[in-house]
Structure 1
Amino acid sequence: MARYTGPVCRQCRREGLKLYLKGDKCFTDKCPITRRNYAPGEHGQGRKKLSNYGVQLREKQKVRRYYGVSEKQFAKYFSMADKMEGIAGENFLKVLESRLDNVVFRLGLAASRAESRQLVNHGHFMVNGSKVDIPSYLISVGDVIEVKEKSTKSSKFKELVEGHQGNVPQWVEIDTENLKGKIVAEPSREDIDIPIEEHLIVEWYSK
């Protein structure tokens, strides 16, 4: 399935909550879901009772859009999490949180996950001293992520990090002076920003 390229705010309206896809705009009165908190389209304001299938589908789509992952990747990550020890739903969220584009965003080195994917694609980051330009690259505990030396000359990154201080989750550390971050623990379920009922996604893939 191709990546969605339309207005991203429509995705938030479709799911009925902020997915924080537009960075700073999501925290202002200009956020469309603040002004039009109903689904887009001609029948968006109509009330519709969802079946169990519909509830599971909406939860899956919400999480997939939140992390900006394709349908194929999403299913692959669930299959990976399902084979791990522990609770499948929590493992699944940990895998999604471990993507390089998400980690870059969590460190405050990008204003949104979409911007983070673009910056990673353009080769602005290094992992353990080697350039990585694959947003889906999975990070492990102990890995060090840093802005490439040539890119540190841009004031953009330091401005982003300084504005993001206090919002960095406990499983990562950020060196704002050197624009370098380290994974100090596995992602925590409590650090997820939006309400997610992962058991619904487990039920969806368990059919």
Structure 2
Amino acid sequence: MSRYRGPRVKVLRKFIERANRSQTTTGNGQILPGFSTKVPRKQVGPGQHGAMLLRKKRSDYGQRLLEKQKLRYNYGITEKQLVQYVKVALRSKEATGFALLQQLEMRLDTIIFNFGLAPTIPSARQLINHGHIRVNGKKVTIPSYQCQPGENVGFLTDKFLQTAKENNGGSIKINNSQTHLSWDEQTNKGTILGFAARSSVLLNINELLVVEFYSRKL
């Protein structure tokens, strides 16, 4: 399955839970913070029968599938990529669900997004693909690059840095939950202090259901 490039609000409405809406969104009402900054005006599912679909109780398989899709859309990864991340997580000494999320959080496109250098992960991926991002002073054009503690991240030119600052009210602002990231205003570089913690994940996700979904397949 390839990456989704269609209407985003339509996708966001897929993940609205009428009975559990408070746990569906982040603090600012975003359902998939990495996928889109938009908040659906209609709090019902997509399509003519969206409201009716919300009233139907999902099966256990349906709930696991929903969480898996939520992860895919938020981080903008393909099914093949997600399967590979799950395989690596299964071999990890950490809890499988946490190891899976940590890999996704340490991707370069996610790091750029969490630094506030791009409004969404797809936007961050575009910056990387076009060669505007450098890691440790070298240009990196691979969005899936796994960042490591101690590495520095920044723009190749000041033009895009200035745009990022303007979009953030004049300076680079990192979410308080991103304790593994630090930004230096003097050098205009971000430093990765360590591996991402579970509390740094902005997406409301039950990663255990994702692991259960693949444990029956792998």
**How many residue pairs were aligned?**
197
Judge which range, 120-129 or 87-96, deviates more.
Answer: 120-129
Query: How much does 1:166 deviate?
Result: 4.8
2:148 is equivalent to residue 135 of structure 1: no
Residue 103 of structure 1 corresponds to 111
Q: Quick one: which of 172, 183, 186 aligns to 2:195?
A: 186
AA matched with 1:65: Y
Q: Which runs of 5+ in 2 are unaligned?
A: 17-23, 25-30
1:163, distance to aligned residue in structure 2 (A): 5.5
Structure 1 segment 1-207 matched on structure 2, within 5 A: 1-16=1-16, 17=24, 18-20=31-33, 21-23=35-37, 26=38, 31=39, 33=40, 35-46=41-52, 47-148=55-156, 151-154=157-160, 155-160=162-167, 162=170, 164-167=172-175, 169-207=178-216
Runs of 4+ with >6 A deviation: none
Task: Determine if contact 2:134/2:154 at 8 Å carries over to the other structure.
Answer: yes
SS in 2 for 1:182: strand
TM-score (norm 2): 0.85
Q: Report the secondary structure of 2:72's partner residue.
A: helix
Secondary structure in 2 aligned to 1:139?
coil
Deviations 1:17-57 (A, max 9, x none): 4112333xx3xxxx3x2x21111112211122111100100
What do you get for the CA RMSD once the two structures are aligned?
A: 1.6
- Is the contact between residue 152 and residue 179 of structure 1 (CA under 8 Å) also seen in structure 2? no
TM-superposed deviation, 1:167 = 1.5
Deviation at 1:177?
Answer: 4.0
The Cα offsets for residues 121-161 of structure 1, whole Å up to 9 and x where unpaired, read as 1111111121101111110111111111xx21342033245
Q: Could you tell me the TM-score, scaled by structure 1's length?
A: 0.89
2 CA distance for matches of 1:85 and 1:184?
21
